[in-house]
Structure 1
Amino acid sequence: MTEEIFINKAKASGIIALDLSDYKPTTEIVELDIKDHLFMGMIVKEKEFKESIAAVDYSVYDEKAVGIICSTDAIIPPWAYMMIMEKLSPYASYVDLNNAETILLDLWKRRLIYADLKQYRNQKVVVRANTNYDPSLYLLAAGLLKPLVKTLMYGEIGLPKVIFKQ
């Protein structure tokens, strides 16, 4: 009887997969709404604002990324943000004037930018497809990988879409 040998063509292709989920931040992201510290939820009155933010237990933001938002249409002077940052800085790992979704994307991009990608040098690389990820992550990945890789692809190892080939 003849023994059949199966060859894994995907493995034999030499394609390496880059999964963007490997760079997704694990830091918890929370939002701090300034509205809660405004007079009538709309007006920054300096004395009341200072008292209100002084009464907050900022330790709840320890090692978290904090998105500062204002859910009302109030005009917030820059010094108010500075005062909040002064209170958060001993605790929060990251603070920005954005919602949680935008901060997640910013941190994710930052992790990609600072990632050590030299293992992909002169390789055939496929960036794994995930329709739930923001397209800007794929844009960034392409920009970072193009100078390094021999071939850049999108999708899955078994059926990639070729983006660039040297």
Structure 2
Amino acid sequence: MNQEIFINKAKASGIIALDLLDYKPCTEIVELDIKDHLFMGMIVKEKEFKESIASVDFSVYNEKAVGIICSTDAIIPPWAYMLLMEKLSPYAVYVDLNSAKAVLLDLWKRRLTYADLKHFKDQKVVVRANADHDSSLYLLAAWLLKPIVKSLMYGEIGLPKVIFKK
């Protein structure tokens, strides 16, 4: 009986993968549109704005990340954002003056920045390719990994694109 031995060259290469999806935040991210609290949807009138904000049940933002936006071309005074933060702070885990997409990216970058990457030290590392990821995540990954890894690659373990080798 002839037994052929198959060697998994990808596994034998010693390359380990960093998947950026592992660092994607799982916190729900929602947007709060200030437009809904403006007089005629366009003007901040202090009394009306405060009354409108007071009528909101901010507990719906409990354990969520909130991106504050204004979908109209209105000039919003800074105190209005401060008032919203005062109302959101007991509930939201994160608040920013940005879209939900931008908040997700910011939180994702924070998780990656503060991740414990020491198990990649002196390793051959490939950052897995995903066309749906923002390019700035790859930029940050390269920044964080370059000082600690033996070699950095992009793509998949079986066919990586070499970025650098020490």
Name structure 2 gaps, 5 residues minimum: none
Q: How does 1:125-144 map to 2 (within 5 A)?
A: 125-144=125-144
Q: Does 1:112 align with 2:125?
A: no
What's the CA shift string for 1:51-98, capped at 9, x where partnerless?
A: 100100000000000000000000000000000000000000000000
Structure 1 Cα separation of the partners of residues 66 and 2 of structure 2: 64
Q: Residue 89 in 1 paired to residue 81 in 2?
A: no
Q: CA deviation at 1:35?
A: 0.5
Is 1:42 equivalent to 2:42 in the alignment?
Answer: yes
Query: Matched residue pairs, number?
Result: 166
- Deviation of the 1:3 alpha carbon: 1.6
Q: Which residue of 1 aligns with 2:17?
A: 17
> What is the root-mean-square deviation of aligned Cα atoms in Å?
0.5
Please give the alpha-carbon distance, in whole angstroms, between the structure 2 residues aligned to 1:34 and 1:3.
Answer: 70
Please name the residue that 1:74 is paired with: 74
| Unpaired stretches in structure 1, ≥5 consecutive residues | none
Partner of 1:156: 156
Structure 2 counterpart of 1:46, which letter? Answer: E
Identity of aligned residues (%): 84
**1:8-27 residue CA offsets vs partner (Å, 9 max, x unmatched):** 00000000000000000000
Per-residue deviation at 1:158? Answer: 0.3
Secondary structure at the aligned position of 2:86 is classed as helix
**Does 2:122 align with 1:122?**
yes
**TM-score, scaled relative to structure 2:** 0.99
Distance 2:42 2:63 in 1: 30
Q: TM-score normalized by structure 1?
A: 0.99
Provide the rounded CA distance (Å) in 1 between the counterparts of 2:159 and 2:84. 50
**Segments of 4+ moved more than 6 angstroms:** none
Alignment match, 1:7: 7
Question: Matched residues in 2 for 1:131 and 1:52: separation?
Answer: 42
Q: What is the alpha-carbon distance in structure 2 between the residues aligned to residue 2 and residue 77 of structure 1?
A: 80
In structure 1, the partner of 2:59 is 59
